[in-house]
Chains A and B, each alone.
Chain A
Amino acid sequence: MKSTYFLLSAMTASLLLVGCNGDNVDTGSNEINSKKISSSEVNVSQSSKNENSEVERVVTHGNFVEYETEAELFADAELVVIASTNEDFMDREHIVKYVPSSDEEEGLPKAIEDFYTKTSITVEQVLKQPASEKVADNKKISVIEPIALLEDGSKILSVENYQEISRGQQYIIYLKKNTNGEYGVINMTNGRFNLESTDQIVNLAEHGHDNDKAKHEKMKDTVKNRFAKEIAKAKK
């Protein structure tokens, strides 16, 4: 009978742990203090030194061209690099565009048309680039990330749970030019892969993002396999 109690206790405890962990937060060695404060808002303490401000993060939902495999992603990317940034997220150029004010005459509330961050990255190695353009190692380029801080500093808006590139860490980044000729990260979070062990992917089950972490890690493994030599070189 004792062994039956033990078995039942263990199973109950396991189920409780699984249940409580269903919408959990990924934490690497450089753990972020992230907790869900509502179904859509995450209060994030960034890991970088000057990124420790706690700003409400709102995830918006949209439709984007999604690449399910690394092969598809690589094929469609125009520029793939190993790069890093030395800019804290809060210090980057945050752009929030509103519908032109002339339209407010219609009696409509102010509407955000577009938002993004321009992040300055230093290219350490080029893994793919267009034949028509040479991007040199150590060159600094500006890339668009689908995330931005509102001008009053009250909220961070993130498209589809995108996680920004962290300062001082190496990434493999898949980029494509937008219609204005600017390079931007494609495939949301699954278009930038942290080569350190501290990626900050947060699962948000109630957003339909309940398997973001697993999906990202799977694609990251493929990326690391494809570029094993280049990554080893970058680590030196």
Chain B
Amino acid sequence: MFNTKKKHFKVWMALFTAVFFTTVCFESVAQADYFAGGRKNNAAPYAYYHSSVSTYGYVGNYDVARSYWNANSKVNIKKTTSTSARPDIYYVGNTSVSGLLGQIIPYTSTGTQAAVGGYWDYTTVFIYDNQMRAQSTFTSSRVNYNAAHEVGHTLKMAHVTPPYNSVMVQGWYNIPSTLTSYDSGEINKKW
């Protein structure tokens, strides 16, 4: 009788421990600063610059944004002039939404908008000229930050809540001089 009770107790303890760790793990995954799922070419996607990028004069800013993330050895965002391999497409545009500085939309291979946690075939990346110029301080460093933020999304990086030092924090800031250890760490976790 005593042995049976002991067995039951062990079973309950095992169950409790399993549930406890599952819960802890679930919470940590949900709060990670990157999206679930994969994407074409993983952390080495191709980037095609639409003609609007040079027309508006932001080629250098997107170059800096790619270099920022490419500082992690796992990342290699390569610029391409070919559209045949369905690269990510970088644009510069305008938006009517006050305060919206940039945006990405991921797509599936059939050209429909993809679930953020699903598989991405390619993404369109926009930074918005009118909204950036409407900010009180319009500098190249802040444009670089904005471009790096959007390019970070193409690598499945999600938003980061301050006080972490990351370009994935929402807003209009100067870009850090080098890839931050936080951003590099999130890339390492994701890829």
Which residues on A are within 8 Å of B, measured CB to CB?
1, 4-5, 8-9, 11-12, 15-16, 18-19, 22-23, 38-41, 58-66, 95, 99, 103, 106-114, 116, 144, 146, 155, 157, 159, 176-180, 182, 184-187, 205-208, 210
Contact = CB atoms under 8 A, between A and B. Distances in A.
Nearest to A13: B19
Contacts, number: 184
Interface residues of B, number: 66
B77 to A, nearest CB: 17
Instruction: List the 10 closest pairs (A to B, CB-CB), nearest first.
Output: A39-B117, A62-B103, A208-B158, A40-B116, A40-B115, A65-B99, A205-B30, A19-B23, A66-B170, A113-B93
Interface centre among A5, A64, A144, A159 (most CB of B within 10 A): A64
B9 A65 contact: no
B51 interface: yes
A8 B12 contact: yes
Contacts of B30: 22-23, 205-206, 210
Given A62-B100, A65-B135, A176-B98, A112 B170 contact: no
Contacts of B135: 65
Contacts of B124: 111-112
A205 B35 contact: no
**Binding site of A, secondary structure by majority: helix, strand, loop or mixed?**
mixed
Contacts of B101: 62-65
A35 to B, nearest CB: 14
Interface of B: 5, 8-9, 12-13, 15-16, 19-20, 22-23, 26-27, 30-31, 33, 35-37, 48, 50-52, 83-84, 86, 89, 91, 93-105, 107, 111, 113-118, 124, 126, 130-131, 133-135, 146, 149-150, 153, 158-160, 170-172
B171 A65 contact: yes
Nearest to B130: A179
A77 to B, nearest CB: 10
**Binding site of B, secondary structure by majority: helix, strand, loop or mixed?**
mixed
A9 B12 contact: yes
B117 A206 contact: yes
Contacts of A179: 94, 130-131, 133-134
A109 B111 contact: yes
Contacts of B171: 63, 65-66
